[in-house]
Structure formats: structure tokens, C-alpha cells
Amino acid sequence: MNRYVWKLFLISILLINILMPVPGMTQTGLRTSQSAGTITISGVVFDKMVAINGRTCALIGAGLLRYRVVFKGYVAALYLERRNASGDVFKDIPKSLVIEYFHAIDAQAFISSTRQGFMDNLSREQREAIDQGAKTLYSLYRDVKPGDRYSFTYIPGIGSQIALNGKILGTISGLDFANAMLSIWLGRNPLDQSLKKALLGLDEG
């Protein structure tokens, strides 16, 4: 093995270690600062209240997802219509998942991870039922850079609005699709169990 090939091999091993999530490495409320109307996690600020189609929604929970060593992946926050609790997350109510990223990610990576999330949390029948919505979603994904913010906002009777930095990229109809998206983070086999607890406000810290 020549020096060039050996160098590429070592780089690939390093990237694998960086990009694989480590169970239990999700940082949540313990490192959170708050003010009257906002919450800040690792420098990322979220409002405690937001308006969705004229209806007030409250922050249920938020968390920071870390990767191996000291690398931060993103901060996510979950909102539900006010007076609803985390147990109502899959009901036909206004809700929004907001994610801000610390690293550049290309659209194809979002497509791959979303497909895997559906595979992990939905039955074959459920995946078939949202197949058209999933294809629409994949066409809407864009590359992101550090500091960019995706939001997935469900409005009853309208559908799921996919937005990047506040600009709506498209809308996908159906509560089933909205819940399929949320299942990636909040389903039976979520991306990260600790992040799921943080988003639902169940983190004991």
C-alpha cells in the first residue's frame, strides 16, 4: 500500500468515526440558557412561542445532537399548539420541528437519511401510503450550510410545509405524512433516543 492510498484510508476511518452518532451523546437541558421569551442551546436561539397559521404553538422540548468526540451535529426544537402535551404529538394539531445545522450537508444525504428513518419506523403499508409525499419531499431538499435552519410544519387541513431559513419550499398534504416525518425523531426507532426524550420534554436533566 503506497503512501497516498494509506493516507486516504486513514482519512476515511476518521470520517466514519466523526459521522456516526454515539448513543447517549445528545446534549439537552443541562447546558441550556433561557430568557423570558427564548431558549438557547449551544448558541442556537429558539422562541418559546411561535404562530402557525394564526394559532399559538409552544416549545415542548429541544436538544443538541452530538457526534463522536466533540462534533456538534444540529439543534432541534419541537412545537405543538398551546395546551397540547407531548403525548398529543401525532394528533391532528398544528406542530413544527425546527432544526439548525452546524455543518454543511448536501441534499442527497438528507434523502438517504430520511429513507432510512422511514424504513426504521414505518411498516411497508405505511411507507406505500406516503410514497408520493416522500418523493415530493426528496425533490424539495436543498444543500445546507452551517447556520441554516430547516422547518417541518404541519397545519391541519393544509399539510406539511417544508421551509429552509423561513422560505417555504413546498407543501405536502396528509396527517399520515406529517406523522411519518416526525417518527424519524419521535417514533419507535428514532434517530436517537436521548434526542427523542429532549424533544418531548422528557429529559430528566
Q: How far apart are CA 180 and CA 196, in angstroms?
A: 15
Other CB atoms within a 10 A radius of the CB of residue 155 amount to 18
CA dihedral over 168, 63, 184, 95, signed as positive or negative: negative
Does residue 16 register a pLDDT over 50? no
Please state which of the ranges 8-12, 128-132, 149-153, 176-180 shows the lowest mean pLDDT. Answer: 8-12
Which residues lie across from 151 on neighbouring strands? 98, 163
**Directed axis angle between helix 107-121 and helix 131-140, to 10°?**
160
In a domain, 6, yes or no: no
In a domain, 10, yes or no: no
Q: Tell me how long the chain is.
A: 205
Torsion, Cα 173 177 182 184, to 10 degrees, reads -140
Residue 42's pLDDT is what? 87
In a domain, 52, yes or no: yes
What is the average pLDDT score of the chain?
A: 84
Residue 17's pLDDT is what? 33
CA dihedral over 82, 117, 179, 183, signed as positive or negative: negative
Enter the C-alpha cell of residue 46. 429558539
Tell me, what amino acid is at 25? Answer: M
Number of domains in the chain: 1
Q: Is 58 left (phi over 0), alpha (psi -120 to 50) or beta?
A: beta
Buried b (16+ CB within 10 A) or exposed e, 100-134: bbbeebeeeebeeebeebbeebbeeeeeebbeebb
pLDDT-above-90 percentage for the chain: 73
Domain that holds residue 40: 22-199
In a domain, 59, yes or no: yes
Query: pLDDT tens digits for 43-76?
Result: 999 999 999 999 999 999 999 887 654 578 899 9
Residue 65's pLDDT is what? 84
Which band of pLDDT confidence, cut at 50, 70 and 90, is reported for residue 33?
Answer: low
Residue with cell 411561535: 50
CATH number at residue 153: 3.50.70.10
In a domain, 12, yes or no: no
Query: pLDDT tens digits for 90-129?
Result: 999 999 999 999 999 999 999 999 999 999 999 999 999 9
In a domain, 15, yes or no: no
